[in-house]
C-alpha cells in the first residue's frame, strides 16, 4: 500500500510539473506584433497540450483568401526528430529545452536541416514568441517572428 501511495504521489507531482509548463495552453497570433516574411494569415491559433512525458502542438490557420490549414507536432525536448505535419517547408522538428521558458529547434525536410527555430514564453506567461529561420521549398531564406497571446 505504501509503495502504491508513493508511486501515486510521484505521478501526481510529475503531472503537475507538466501542467505548470508555460507553453501549455491555447495561443492566438497577434498579427500587429508578428513579422512574417510571406503574407500573414488572417488567423493562427495553436493549442499545446501536455501528454504523459511529451507535448502535443496543434495549429489551425486561415489564410487571407479564407483557405484553412492545420498542422501537428508531438514530441519531447530531447533533440530527437519528431514528425511535423502542416508545413511544406519541413516535416520534422528536433527540439531542446534551454530553460523553463525557452526551447531551440532544428527544422528538417527529408532528414536534411532546412532551418532553426526558437520558442520563448514571456516571464508573465502571457506571450509566446516563435522565431524561425529557414530555407523554404523554393530555396528562399525566410525569417518569421510570430507572436501569440495566451487565451
pTM of the full structure: 0.84
Would you state the pLDDT for residue 25?
98
> Domain of 10?
2-150
Residue ranges of the chain whose pLDDT lies below 50: 1-19
For 1-49, give the secondary structure using H, E and C.
CHHHHHHHHHHHHHHHHHHCCCCCEEEEECCCCCECCCCCCCEEEEEEE
Would you state the pLDDT for residue 18?
44
Measured between alpha carbons, how far is 26 from 121 in angstroms, rounded to an integer?
13
Would you state the pLDDT for residue 101?
97
Between CA 82 and CA 144, with CA 148 as vertex, the angle to 5 degrees is 65
Report pLDDT digits (tens) over 51-73: 988 999 999 999 999 999 999 99
Q: Which CATH number belongs to the domain containing residue 63 in this structure?
A: 2.40.128.20
Would you state the pLDDT for residue 1?
47
Split into its structural domains, the chain has a count of 1
Is-contact 74 56, C-beta < 8 A? yes
Would you state the pLDDT for residue 81?
98
* Torsion (CA) 27, 31, 32, 37 in degrees, nearest 10: 120
Amino acid at each position: 500500500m505504501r509503495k502504491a501511495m508513493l508511486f501515486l504521489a510521484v505521478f501526481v507531482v510529475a503531472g503537475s510539473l507538466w501542467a505548470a509548463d508555460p507553453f501549455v495552453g491555447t495561443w492566438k497570433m497577434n498579427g500587429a506584433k508578428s513579422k512574417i516574411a510571406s503574407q500573414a494569415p488572417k488567423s493562427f491559433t495553436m493549442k499545446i497540450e501536455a501528454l504523459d512525458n511529451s507535448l502535443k502542438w496543434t495549429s489551425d490557420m486561415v489564410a487571407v483568401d479564407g483557405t484553412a490549414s492545420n498542422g501537428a507536432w508531438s514530441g519531447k525536448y530531447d533533440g530527437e526528430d519528431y514528425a511535423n505535419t502542416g508545413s511544406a517547408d519541413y516535416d520534422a522538428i528536433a527540439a531542446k529545452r534551454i530553460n523553463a521558458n525557452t526551447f531551440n529547434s532544428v527544422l528538417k525536410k527529408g532528414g536534411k536541416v532546412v532551418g532553426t527555430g526558437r520558442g520563448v514564453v514571456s516571464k508573465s506567461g502571457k506571450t509566446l514568441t516563435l522565431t524561425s529561420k529557414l530555407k523554404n521549398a523554393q530555396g528562399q531564406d525566410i525569417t518569421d517572428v510570430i507572436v501569440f497571446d495566451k487565451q
